[in-house]
Structure 1
Amino acid sequence: MIRALTSRRWSLRRDSGSASRNCPAEGAAEQDSAQPAAVDLPRTRDGEIDYDALYEDESDSDLGSMENHGSVVTHLLSQVKIGMDLTKVVLPTFILERRSLLEMYADSFAHPDQFVKIVDQPTPRDRMVQVVRWYLSSYHAGRKSQVGKKPYNPILGEVFRCHWDMDGMPENNANNDKEVGDGPVPWCTADQLSFVAEQVSHHPPISAFYAEHVNKRIQFEAWVWTKSKFLGLSVGVHNIGKGTVTLLDTGEEYTLTFPNGYGRSILTVPWIELGGSVVIECVQTGHKANIEFLTKPFYGGKKHRVTCEVFAGADKKPYYTAQGEWNTRMDGRWTETGRSEVLFEVSNMKPRRKRVAPVSRQAAHESRRVWRHVTCALRAADCDAATRAKRSVEQHQRDALKQREANGEKWLTQLFSPKGEEGWEYNTPLKKRVSATKTTPQHKSTDNADSTR
């Protein structure tokens, strides 16, 4: 679902040895002077840098690999020990991906139709399998490059919003262009899937996010934070958090956890691996999926393998199994009938483009506006400018913290609130906003319907 889970808490320091170039640096001021850069950058008709085009540009401007930066490798090795927490460890600029972690979380819905199809399934078993299909097929979407890179660490209070158009959206419908007016993206229509994420805490670094489709009456909310450790030639990231898919018409809630992540070969050409156990379960139906992300053995074996077993109630035998690789293909099998199927095949699943408001119309705390000059410098292959821009963003955050402390002010989140001892919830989810009048559930089937398989 979220490739960024593997690299959440690395901070950054200037990479010595890079030549400085003329890419604008980030500052507290909102000035966008377009200066010439060492490489061609997209421009508006007025000659200004087109930041929207920069964010939509998926070309991989590789600034180098770790093995080409001997002084950086030496510096890294001087800081770390086996098992050490990586919160204070710095990494070079060239390993950054050109977007915030909050934006990367949106990749969970890069196949929005797979998500909303959960609602259309006729039985609890079908719905659970569709939740598994959506969940596992979402992980490949964040892979923009064959080289493992890390997103920007969001600053406290940072927000990212986007939405997706859906297949089969009705045309010539008077209500099709009517804005919802509330929810995570107020300018969306009821037939679009909308998403919002907020950095709700800095210590620990917690990100909370939420998505909904109004007409399908489905929502998802989650919170995640990580602990990172140095493992020698790898970085291990333990993901702490939970997500919940809610179907308003059936009253079902599917809770899920996240796999651990590993940044392998961090001193040469980094790559991402997922590992560990994940559980998806629905208390209302008693269905449960046990998923294992298998790490590659030291000798032989395949990368990115996943196995899955889905159970009903207290049954010891799974009614559905699946196996394969999360970044290529997984095959499923209904054990009672022996019928096999393709759970998903990545080559046939092109991620749908998300829609984001232009940077010029975003608030100062929205992700693409916060990091626009860092993104510009990275696209221009200018490590020094990227480092300066990133430092400026982080310094602005530190200054704001000092100001709050001096005034005795407490940080207040915008869109999410604490839930329980460690969880977070969206303040105005679809479930709270819908009419108090209960609609008749669309699905009244039972597991007996599965006997037709």
Structure 2
Amino acid sequence: MMGLFSQASNHLRRPRGASVDDKAPEDTEPDDTSILDENEGSVIMSLISQLRVGMDLSKVTFPTFVLEPRSMLERITDFMAHPDLIFGAEECDDPEERFIRVLQYYLAGWHIKPKGVKKPYNPILGEFFRCRYDYSNGTQGFYIAEQVSHHPPISAFYYISPANKVCIIGELRPKSRFLGNSVSTVMEGENRVILQGRQDDGEYVISMPNMYARGILFGKMVLELGDTCTAKNEKHGLYCDLEFKTKGFFSGTYNAISGRVRKGNTDIGEISGRWSHVMEYKSAKTGEKRVLFDVQKMGDKVAPKWVAPEEEQEPNESRRLWSALTKAINDKDMDTATSAKSAVEESQREERRKREESGEKHVPRFFELRNGRWEPKFTPPDNPDEAVEAVRQWIWPSSR
């Protein structure tokens, strides 16, 4: 074991650009990999020396240079980046086509990622992120996410676009573990998509793939999605087992996906491609192929979101809460970043101590637990215009 850490230490301390070996692994994108400089390598080795294989990482403090400068609550909005793929799905008469449109929405969110191997901030209890979308067709969308539990970490989120008849409710329950040369994050939880123009469809329920940061001891650090997730619409008996494939040691490719779409026990189509490039759907009935998402052609068409200026946000709103850390990371001032991160975490510990002393229990502001699932404390009116005003007042109450 000591020999392994010694080998890793020698590799990590090689300055960037010092060897021709300092390049991304074959078949990866440059933005998918990280090469650590001497100081970063030393910090990583100090951290790793305290870990054991299988250890739960929920209470481990990671160095700031591995952080993406935004909260996980904001990162979830990546899945609302291409609304045109799902808007109008309720107008399709074929249930199978509606199912494929929901899959398109889901698959289109994965290509948005920071450069290198980065993780978003772990939200603190009671933290929330909210934003609004103003679409080119004159309609709007609204999003709210809240950290409803810290141990275990649970992020609940809600999106609605009343005029476009789409509602998405979900929760994420990430569990990270140290595996030796990699860190895995098991993404428990689900997305529940509701086409409000097709209420009889019920919910389209989609789970998440797991994430792996590989090469943290030796080799180059690479971020991969892996394992199988499922999408289902039980009302119409439609299912998809979607495999995010990790690259084998000697063969395979990065970012590959494959999936079988079924109606009952009958295959009706298959999905193939790479989530970072092009994904296709092939109909079993006709043999025809269609592009679900092409990152090069469609990846830049991201719906912009409006977020209130930080000075107008509440203290526990994500961007204001982490503003000092975000500024320090963007300025590449890691000492200040570490201090800023520690200040937020210490404030959270102090709040927890106060609750324990008083016997007070934290009550989430926007969500509540019902029948084992986190649901919004909001029911939209049936009228789209009334729903827009109601959701706006719920997320941004004028009294605050």
- Give the TM-score category using the shorter length: 0.7 to 0.9
Per-residue deviation, 1:116 = 2.0
**2:148 aligned with 1:200:** yes
The yes-or-no answer on 1:112 pairing with 2:83 is: yes
Number of the residue aligned with 2:247: 296
Task: State how far apart, in whole Å, the 1-side matches of 2:35 and 2:283 are.
Answer: 46
Question: Cα offset for 1:301?
Answer: 1.4
| Secondary structure of residue in 1 paired with 2:86 | helix
Residue by residue over 1:399-424, the C-alpha shift from the partner in whole angstroms, topping out at 9 and shown as x without a partner, is 11112222221111000001223x21
Cα pair distance change 1:425/1:66, threshold 3 Å = farther
Counterpart contact for 2:34–2:117, Cα < 8 Å: no
Question: How many pairs are equivalent?
Answer: 348
Structure 1 residue 156 corresponds to structure 2 residue 125: yes
Task: Determine if the alignment matches structure 1 residue 129 to structure 2 residue 78.
Answer: no
Aligned equivalents of 1:114, 1:347: Cα separation in 2: 16
Larger RCO: Structure 1 or Structure 2 (Cα < 8 Å, ≥ 6 residues apart)? 1
Q: Deviations over 1:236-274 (max 9, x none)?
A: 111111221012222221011111110112246533211
Distance 1:261 1:64 in 2: 19
Specify whether residues 63 and 284 from structure 1 end up closer, same or farther in structure 2 by C-alpha distance, changes over 3 A only: closer
CA contact (8 A) 2:145 2:158 kept: yes
Q: Tell me the equivalent position of 1:424.
A: 374
Return closer, same or farther for 1:249/1:381 CA change in 2, 3 Å cut-off.
same
Q: Does 1:279 align with 2:230?
A: yes
CA positional deviation for 1:107: 0.8
- Of 203, 213, 224, which aligns to 2:161? 213
Give 1:36's aligned residue.
Answer: none
Q: What is the deviation of 1:383?
A: 0.7
The partner residue of 1:343 within 292, 302, 308 is 292
Contact 1:113/1:166 (<8 A) preserved: no
Aligned counterpart for 1:383 among listed residues 315, 325, 334: 334
Determine which of 395, 404, 413 is the counterpart of 2:355: 404
Q: What pairs up with 1:180-199 in 2 under 5 angstroms?
A: 191-199=139-147
Q: Give CA deviations for 1:54-90 in whole Å, capped at 9, x if unaligned.
A: xxxxxx9x99726653431331232112222222333
Superposed, 1:11-50 pairs within 5 Å as: none
Q: Does structure 2 conserve the Cα–Cα contact (< 8 Å) formed by 1:417 and 1:426?
A: yes
Q: Distance in 1 between matches of 2:230 and 2:56?
A: 26
| Structure 1 position 144, deviation (Å) | 2.5
Q: 1:337 & 1:150 partners in 2: Cα distance?
A: 42
Question: Secondary structure in 2 aligned to 1:249?
Answer: helix
Instruction: Show structure 1 runs of 4+ deviating over 4 A.
Output: none
Q: Match of 1:243? A: 191
CA–CA distance in structure 1, aligned partners of residues 191 and 364 of structure 2: 19
**Contact 1:114/1:134 (8 A) holds in 2:** yes
Task: Give 3-state SS (helix, strand or coil) of 1:151's partner.
Answer: strand
TM-score relative to the length of structure 2: 0.83
Cα distance in 2 for partners of 1:395, 1:69 equals 24
Following superposition, the deviation at residue 218 of structure 1 comes to 1.6
Contact 2:73 2:128 (8 Å CA) reproduced? yes
Aligned equivalents of 2:61, 2:288: Cα separation in 1: 50
Give, as a single letter, the amino acid of the residue that structure 2 aligns with 1:149.
Answer: K
The residue identity in structure 1 corresponding to 2:245 is: L
Residues of 2 paired with 1:249 and 1:77: CA distance? 51
- Number of the residue aligned with 1:264: 214
- Supply the RMSD in Å over aligned alpha carbons: 2.0
Check the 8 A contact 1:261/1:272 in 2, yes or no.
yes
Cα deviation, residue 280, structure 1:
0.9
Tell me, what secondary structure is at the counterpart of 1:116?
Answer: coil
- In structure 1, which of residues 251, 254, 264 is the aligned counterpart of residue 204 of structure 2? 254
Could you tell me how far 1:358 is from its partner in structure 2?
0.9
Distance 1:149 1:114, change over 3 A: same
Deviations 1:266-301 (CA, angstroms, capped at 9, x unpaired)? 246533211111111112211111111111101121
Matched, 1:140 2:140: no
Q: Look up the match of 2:22.
A: none
Structure 1 distance, partners of 2:125, 2:59, is: 17
Please tell me whether the aligned partners of residues 68 and 119 of structure 2 are also in contact (alpha carbons under 8 angstroms).
yes
**CA contact under 8 A between 1:229 and 1:236: conserved in structure 2?**
yes
CA drift at 1:337:
1.1
User: What do the CA deviations read for 1:349-383 (whole angstroms, capped 9, x no partner)?
Assistant: 11222211111111111000000000111111111
State the 1:435 CA deviation. 5.3
Q: Which residue of structure 2 lines up, in the alignment, with residue 187 of structure 1?
A: none
Counterpart amino acid of 1:403?
A: K
**Residue in 1 that maps onto 2:318:** 367
1:322 aligns with 2:271: yes
Of 119-128 and 387-396, more deviation after overlay is shown by 119-128
**What CA deviation, in whole Å up to 9, does each residue of 1:134-191 have, x standing for no partner?**
11111112x131x01011111111110112232433xxxxxxxxxxxxxxxxxxxxx1
- For residues 365 and 160 of structure 1, the distance between their equivalents in structure 2, rounded to whole angstroms, comes to 9
SS at match of 2:354: helix
Contact 1:110 1:352 in 2 (8 A): yes
Give the distance between the partners of 2:222 and 2:341, measured in 1 at CA. 23
TM value normalised by structure 1: 0.73
Uncovered stretches (5+) of structure 2, i.e. residues with no partner: 1-30, 385-400
Q: Which residue does the alignment assign to 1:100?
A: 71
